[in-house]
Amino acid sequence: MRIGQGYDIHKLVPQRKFVLGGVEIPFDKGPLGHSDGDVLFHAITDALLGAAGLGDIGGYFPDTDPRWKDASSIHFLKEACLLLYKNGFLIENLDGTVHLERPKLAPYLKKIKENLSEVLRLPADRINIKAKTGEGIGEVGRGEAVVAQVIVLLTDQ
Q: Which letter, b or e, does each residue of 127-154 get, where b requires 16 or more Cβ atoms within 10 Å of its Cβ?
A: bebebeebeeeebbeebebbbbbbbbbb
For residue 11, count other CB atoms closer than 10 A to its CB: 15
Under the binding rule (CB under 5 A), the answer on residue 46 touching Mg ion is no
Q: Give me the least distance between CB of 33 and Mg ion, in Å please.
A: 6
Per CB under 5 A, the segment of 2-10, 15-23, 87-95, 106-114 that binds Mg ion is 2-10
Query: Which amino acid belongs to residue 16?
Result: R
Q: Which of 25, 29, 41, 42 binds Mg ion (CB under 5 A)?
A: 42
Element (H, E) at 4: strand 2-14
Under the binding rule (CB under 5 A), the answer on residue 99 touching Mg ion is no
CA gap 6, 54 in Å, rounded:
13
Q: Which residues pair with 29 in a beta bridge?
A: 14
Residue number, 40 or 94, with CB nearest to Mg ion: 40
Under the binding rule (CB under 5 A), the answer on residue 8 touching Mg ion is yes
User: What binding mask, one character per residue, do residues 102-131 give for Mg ion by CB under 5 A, x or -?
Assistant: ------------------------------
User: Under rule CB under 5 A, how many of the chain's residues touch Mg ion?
Assistant: 2
* Interacting residue ranges for Mg ion, rule: CB under 5 A: 8, 42
